[in-house]
């Protein structure tokens, strides 16, 4: 074409800037940073608002479009040459665990943002728009369940129901979201969800396998299934000094028996089942009052759909059979079937890693990710990079600048290939 820009021979991956990507991580990690070097940036907290504001500021400086949808997912869009083409999405989450690390979630958002910057630096146009998304409340530690933003986007959760969820202080998602958007205002995207042509999420592995074999890239094949429950054991408050044990309705005693029975129910010689009681609260929590209520959570995971169903469906019966004189209420909060990623995305990630001479291996994900929901909407996949000793959901979580950049290079060329198909 006369006057057309000279075709750049620089590839997106070669325009990825390792130093800038690392600096963005360190700047983001300050928001909610903890004394032990981790991050506490829970969903819709002031720290989360500050992180959103920082990403939006970086995006606006580059001329990218920024918008938030009705459930608080934050989108950064780099237009394509064909504005009507269905976009390619990449991203992850900015919210963290209370004792979280600097890379869980943030890597996927910042690697995606680095791809947009690299494309802009190299003046590479893509046919399809590419959007980076920071999904709201992936962790599910403040508001349960997790993956609320991606779940609503994919139509798996009802937005009105999700806006009513409360945290332990009784604050609703709706009110916390309003406060967040006030602190970090962006244009609003009407409604929820839109057609997406493909999705790739970059994430640290959160396990030790890549590091153990010395590989840099994980071509993620899928994610194990997961089920979350809330359990309330209800007895009767009474005086610790005057109430004989034989007449007590001691919610703590019953809850301990229930958890013990559930651990036996979930026992698995192959150590494939993942069963965690992460939160266990007694009420009123006074040393000289027999607990009248205990609230605890169950996080149960398994790669086999039939086992997930059989053992998960047994939770209610086991709880009721071991509650003694107390009542017990089991509430199912989420049920996500095992996810299998799209072969064409896996092939693209694997071929790109090979072309970039990055040692890689196919591997499943033990951790849950927003990609579980995006896989219901479009061809989806993930790219893993190593983290030190596989440690995550821990303030000591660590990764190297070169591994983060390597994963970002694979992401860059993979996204461009999807955006130009």
Please give the residue ranges that form the binding site for ligand HGY (CB under 6 A): 138-139, 146, 367-368
Q: Are 91 and 188 in contact (CB under 8 A)?
A: no
Q: Are 12 and 118 in contact (CB under 8 A)?
A: yes
The stretch near Mn ion (CB under 5 A) out of 98-106, 224-232, 295-303, 344-352 is 98-106
What is the number of other CB atoms lying within 10 angstroms of the CB of residue 4?
6
At residue 283, φ and ψ (nearest 5 deg) are -125, 140
Instruction: Supply the minimum distance, in Å, between the C-beta of residue 93 and Mn ion.
Output: 6
CA 130 to chain centre: 20
Instruction: Supply the minimum distance, in Å, between the C-beta of residue 226 and ligand HGY.
Output: 7
CB-nearer residue toward ligand HGY: 137 or 186: 137
Contact set for Mn ion, span 246-275 (CB under 5 A): none
Instruction: Supply the minimum distance, in Å, between the C-beta of residue 150 and Mn ion.
Output: 11
| Residue 250 contact among ligand HGY, Mn ion, none, beta carbon within 5 to 8 Å by kind | none
Residue 91 as a binder of Mn ion (CB under 5 A): the answer is no
At residue 360, φ and ψ (nearest 5 deg) are -145, 160
What would the two tokens of residue 399 be? 């990764």
Per DSSP, the residues of 97-115 read -TTB-SSTTHHHHHHHHHH
Instruction: Supply the minimum distance, in Å, between the C-beta of residue 372 and ligand HGY.
Output: 9
| Residue 368 contact among ligand HGY, Mn ion, none, beta carbon within 5 to 8 Å by kind | ligand HGY
The CA-atom distances, in angstroms, between 126 and each of 90, 257, 393 are 15, 59, 36
The stretch near Mn ion (CB under 5 A) out of 105-113, 269-277, 355-363, 371-379 is 105-113
Which alpha helices (H) appear in 62-204, and where do they start and end? 106-121, 148-153, 159-163, 173-183
CB-nearer residue toward ligand HGY: 146 or 151: 146
Instruction: Supply the minimum distance, in Å, between the C-beta of residue 96 and ligand HGY.
Output: 9
Beta-strand pair 65-68/74-78: antiparallel
At residue 74, φ and ψ (nearest 5 deg) are -105, 125
Q: Residues 104, 232, 250, 299: which binds Mn ion (CB under 5 A)?
A: 104
The stretch near Mn ion (CB under 5 A) out of 96-104, 221-229, 353-361, 398-406 is 96-104
| Residue 403 contact among ligand HGY, Mn ion, none, beta carbon within 5 to 8 Å by kind | none
The stretch near Mn ion (CB under 5 A) out of 104-112, 158-166, 326-334, 377-385 is 104-112
CA count, 13 A, side-chain hemisphere, 166: 4
Instruction: Supply the minimum distance, in Å, between the C-beta of residue 135 and Mn ion.
Output: 10
| Residue 108 contact among Mn ion, ligand HGY, none, beta carbon within 5 to 8 Å by kind | none
Residue 105 as a binder of Mn ion (CB under 5 A): the answer is yes
| Residue 348 contact among Mn ion, ligand HGY, none, beta carbon within 5 to 8 Å by kind | none
CB-nearer residue toward ligand HGY: 87 or 218: 218
CB-nearer residue toward ligand HGY: 139 or 250: 139
Contact set for Mn ion, span 114-173 (CB under 5 A): none
Buried b (16+ CB within 10 A) or exposed e, 165-204: bebeeeeebbebbeebbeebebeebeebbeebbbbbbbbb
The stretch near Mn ion (CB under 5 A) out of 59-67, 99-107, 167-175, 237-245 is 99-107
What would the two tokens of residue 199 be? 């999705």
CB-nearer residue toward ligand HGY: 64 or 135: 135
Instruction: Supply the minimum distance, in Å, between the C-beta of residue 139 and Mn ion.
Output: 5
Q: Are 241 and 290 in contact (CB under 8 A)?
A: no
Per DSSP, the residues of 256-269 read HHHHHHHHHHT--T
What would the two tokens of residue 357 be? 């001479």
What residues make contact with Mn ion under the rule CB under 5 A? 104-105
């Amino acid at each position: 074409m006369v006057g057309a820009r000279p075709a750049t021979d620089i590839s997106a991956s070669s325009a990825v800037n390792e130093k800038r990507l690392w600096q963005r991580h360190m700047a983001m990690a300050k928001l909610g940073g903890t004394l032990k070097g981790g991050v506490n940036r829970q969903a819709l907290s002031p720290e989360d608002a500050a992180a959103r504001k920082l990403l939006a500021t970086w995006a606006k400086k580059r001329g990218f479009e920024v918008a938030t949808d009705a459930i608080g997912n934050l989108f950064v869009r780099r237009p394509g040459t064909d504005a009507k083409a269905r976009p390619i999405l990449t991203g992850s989450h900015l919210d963290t665990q209370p004792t979280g690390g600097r890379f869980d979630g943030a890597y996927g958002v910042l690697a995606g943002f680095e791809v947009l910057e690299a494309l802009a630096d190299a003046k590479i146009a893509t046919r399809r728009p590419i959007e980076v998304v920071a999904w709201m409340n992936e962790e599910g530690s403040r508001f349960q369940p997790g993956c609320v933003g991606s779940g609503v986007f994919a139509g798996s959760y009802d937005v009105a129901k999700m806006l009513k969820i409360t945290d332990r202080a009784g604050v609703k998602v709706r009110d916390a979201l309003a406060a967040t958007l006030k602190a970090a205002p962006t244009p609003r995207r009407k409604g929820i969800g839109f057609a997406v042509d493909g999705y790739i999420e970059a994430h640290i592995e959160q396990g030790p396998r890549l590091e153990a074999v010395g590989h840099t890239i994980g071509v993620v094949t899928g994610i194990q299934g997961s089920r979350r429950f809330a359990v309330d054991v209800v007895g009767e408050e009474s005086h610790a000094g005057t109430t004989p044990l034989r007449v007590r309705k001691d919610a703590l005693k019953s809850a301990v028996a229930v958890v013990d029975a559930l651990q036996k129910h979930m026992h698995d010689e192959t150590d494939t089942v993942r069963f965690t009681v992460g939160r266990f609260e007694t009420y009123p929590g006074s040393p000289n009052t027999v607990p009248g209520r205990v609230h605890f959570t169950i996080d149960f995971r398994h790669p086999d759909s039939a086992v997930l169903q059989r053992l998960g469906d047994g939770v209610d019966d086991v709880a009721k059979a071991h509650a003694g004189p107390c009542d017990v209420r089991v509430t199912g909060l989420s049920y996500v079937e095992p996810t299998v990623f799209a072969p064409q995305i896996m092939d693209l990630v694997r071929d790109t890693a090979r072309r970039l001479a990055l040692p890689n291996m196919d591997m499943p994900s033990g951790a849950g990710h927003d990609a579980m929901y995006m896989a219901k909407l479009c061809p989806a996949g993930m790219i893993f990079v190593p983290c030190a000793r596989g440690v995550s959901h821990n303030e000591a979580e660590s990764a190297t600048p070169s591994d983060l950049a390597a994963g970002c290079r694979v992401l860059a060329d993979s996204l461009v290939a999807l955006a130009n198909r």
